[in-house]
Amino acid sequence: MSDYDLTLNEAKVLKGLLSGKTEPEDIADDTNMKLETVMQAAFFLEKKGFVIIEENIDERYGLTDEGLDYATSGLPERQIFNFIQSNGGRVPLSVLKGTFPRFIDIGIGWLKRKKWAKIEVIGDEELVVALNAPLGDDERLIKELSDKKDYCLIEKEEYNDTLNQLKRRNLLNIREEKYRVIKLTDLGKKVAENIKIEDYDEITNVTPEIIREKRWIGMKFRRYDISIPSKEVYPAKKHPYKRIIEEMRDISLQMGFVEIKGEIVQSSFWDFDALFQPQDHPARDMQDTFYLNSESKLPKEYLSKVRDMHLNGGGIGSTGWGGNWDESLARKNVLRTHTTALSIKYLADHPNPPVKAFCIGRVYRRESIDSTHLPEFEQLEGVIMDKDLSFSHLLGYLDRFYKAMGFEKIRFRPGYFPYTEPSVEPEIYVEGLGWMELGGAGIFRREVTEPFGIKYPVLAWGIGVSRLAMLKLGLSDIRELYRSDIDWLRRKPIFNRFR
C-alpha cells in the first residue's frame, strides 16, 4: 500500500475508522492521538479520496427564564384551568382578569386553542367553563427540560410541532453545536483493510539526537508537501468596535478637543429640562426613557432660570413652552438618553470661551432589539463655544471629522432638534448603500445657553457610534458588535473597509 503515500497518522486514522466509529474524539481515544492530529490526518485523507468529512449541527434546547418559571407554576392556561376547576368549574371572565392580570389574554387564548375551556355568555356576563385538560407534550417537554442542568438534545421528530410552539411562545432557548464525523469511502475501506501500521513507522521531525545516533538510517521520512497551507495563526488584536471608538477619540483629540466624562445616571433636569425639552415631550415618556426609583438634588443657581425659560421664555424674547413646569419631574433620575447632558453640565461650569469638548459614552433608550436598534448604545457628543462662531464653522468641523474617519462624500440637509437652531443632519455616501444619515448637529438655542450665563454661540453635534461602526465594518446587524464570537473576531481584518 506504499503507492498511496500514507503517513503513520493517516494509517492510524484509517485503521481506527474500520471499527465503525466516526466521531474524531472517539478515533483520538482509540488511537491514542491528539484530536488536532486526527483532524489534520483526516483532512489529508479526504484530499486523497479515502474519507469524507461531514459537518453537522445539533440543536440543544434549554428553557428561558419565563419557561423555568412556568415549569414550577404551570403554563398560564394550566394555572387558569386549575383555578376554574377549584372554583366550581365555571368562573366569570372579569374575575379571571383580576386574578391573572399578567397573562390573562395569553392564557384564555391557549385555553380555547387547546379546547380546555369554552366561553358562555349569560346576560351581560362572560363565563369561562372548564372542560378537560389532559397533560400535553408542551408541559411534558417543559418538565423534562427543567430537570436538566444544561442544554440538551431533544428527539426533534417526536416533538417538532411542540418545539416550534414553545419557540413562538419565547419559552425556549436554542444553542447550536457544530460537530464533524469522518466516514470511509469505498476506496478508503479497501486501503484500511490491507495496511499494516508497522509499515508506516516514519520520522516526522529530525532532531539532533536522531542525527548523532544515526537513527535515521533505514528509516522512512515523512514527505514535506509545500502546497499544503500552514496552520493559521491569529495574532492578538483589539476588538474592531473598540478600535473604531479609539479612532474617533484620537481624531477628536487631534482636532483640539478635551474629553469629558460623567455619570450614567442623570437627573431629568440635566437630561431634558436644561436642554429646553418640554416636560410633555414624547421622548420623556416611560415607553422611551428608563426612569429610576430615585431623585437628585437640583442646582439652585440654575433652577429658577431654567423654569422661567420653559414657562415664559426667560425674558430673552422667547415665548417658552407655557403651561406648567413641575420641579418633581425634573428631580427624577434616568439612565441618560444622550451624552448632551454631560455637555451642558460642562458648559455651565466653563461659561467663558474658548471651549472645545467631546464625550464618547453609552446611552440608554427603550428600544426594541432588532438588527438596527438596541436599548443601549454609544454616542459621540461634541461642543465648541467661542466668539464669532457661525453655522459654516460647524459644517467645516463635521466635514473634517467624517473625512478623517474615511468618508469622502459628505453632504448636509436641514434637520430639527428641540435644543438647536439652526439644525442639520450630516449624511455620508457609502458605495452600494447610498446616502446614510449619521447623527445630528446645530447651534444651541439661546433658551439652552442663557440660563447658564453662556453668552457666545455653541456648536453641538451627536453621532451614533454603533451605526458608524456598522458602516465601516460592513455589518447588517448591530448585535454583531457586542457578540463574543471568536471566529468573527479572528476573521475581521485589522483595517476597516474605508482605509
Q: How far is CA 363 from the centre of its chain?
A: 15
242, 360 in Cβ contact below 8 A? no
- Mean pLDDT over 169-180 rounds to 84
C-alpha cell at 200: 508506516
Q: What is the predicted pLDDT for the residue at 446?
A: 92
| Secondary structure string (H, E, C) spanning 115-184 | CCEEEEEECCEEEEEECCCCCCHHHHHHHHHHCCCCCEECCHHHHHHHHHHHHHCCCEEEEEEEEEEEEE
Q: How confident is the model at residue 141 (pLDDT cuts 50, 70, 90)?
A: confident
252, 382 in Cβ contact below 8 A? yes
* Residues 315-342: tens digit of each pLDDT: 898 888 888 899 999 999 999 999 999 9
Say how many residues make up the chain.
499
| Percent of the chain with pLDDT strictly greater than 90 | 37
* Residues 236-283: tens digit of each pLDDT: 888 889 999 999 999 999 999 999 999 999 999 999 999 998 888 887
Is pLDDT at 456 greater than 90 in this prediction?
yes
Q: How confident is the model at residue 498 (pLDDT cuts 50, 70, 90)?
A: very low
Q: What is the predicted pLDDT for the residue at 1?
A: 41
Smallest Cα–Cα separation from 489: which of 497, 481, 477? 481
C-alpha cell at 113: 386553542
Using the 8-state DSSP alphabet, how is residue 313 labeled?
A: -
- In this structure, the number of other CB atoms found within 10 A of the CB of residue 343 comes to 27
Q: What is the predicted pLDDT for the residue at 157?
A: 65
The secondary structure of 449-489 as a DSSP string is HGGGT--S-EEEEEEEHHHHHHHHHT-S-GGGGT---HHHH
Q: What is the pTM of this model?
A: 0.57
- Mean pLDDT over 132-141 rounds to 88
How far CA 491 is from CA of 94, 367, 465, in Å, comes to 58, 30, 22
* Residues 190-243: tens digit of each pLDDT: 888 888 877 766 777 788 888 888 888 877 776 777 777 777 788 888 888 999
Q: What is the predicted pLDDT for the residue at 499?
A: 44
| Secondary structure string (H, E, C) spanning 363-423 | EECCCCCCCCCCCEEEEEEEEEECCCCCHHHHHHHHHHHHHHCCCCCEEEEEEEECCEEEE
Residue predicted with more confidence, 414 or 144: 414
Q: How confident is the model at residue 156 (pLDDT cuts 50, 70, 90)?
A: low
| Percent of the chain with pLDDT strictly greater than 70 | 96
Is pLDDT at 385 greater than 90 in this prediction?
yes
